[in-house]
Copies of this chain bind each other. A is one copy, B any other.
């Protein structure tokens, strides 16, 4: 239940409820969340507040929105392995808006940037790769 008088903000409480539903499997990968309007009505809060909660889950990479079909639990991508060679360095950061669009990254997905010994860099979506030692 959502308690408007609680210390934790209402939108964070809703985000917590939805996150638990996702992590427990109650809402499985690919399944739609209730619409923003439904969530607002069910919990007696405004659609604005619902959108804040969903925005939170988007930044965590837990859901993806397909406008205007709905909001869905993210489906894990097949993971490929990238080897880290001698002299290479890897960092992770969030992409800018332009990078997200250029590489068709969904929200809440970091990028891994690998810098080779010669200074050249390659960029990988973090939801599709894991790094291993060469």
Q: Are A97 and B61 in contact (CB under 8 A)?
A: no
Q: Assembly of this chain: how many copies? A: 2
The reply to whether A94 and B59 contact each other, CB–CB distance below 8 Å, is yes
Determine chain A's interface SS by DSSP, over half rule: mixed
Answer yes or no: A3 CB below 8 A from chain B CBs. Answer: no
The answer to whether A133 has its CB under 8 Å from any CB of chain B is: yes
Q: How many residues of A contact B (CB 8 A)?
A: 38
Confirm or deny: A15 has a beta carbon within 8 angstroms of a beta carbon on chain B.
yes
Residues of A within 8 A of B (CB): 12, 15-16, 19, 55-56, 59-61, 79, 81, 84-97, 107-110, 112, 126-127, 129-134
5 smallest beta-carbon distances between A and B, as pairs = A92-B92, A110-B110, A92-B126, A90-B131, A92-B110
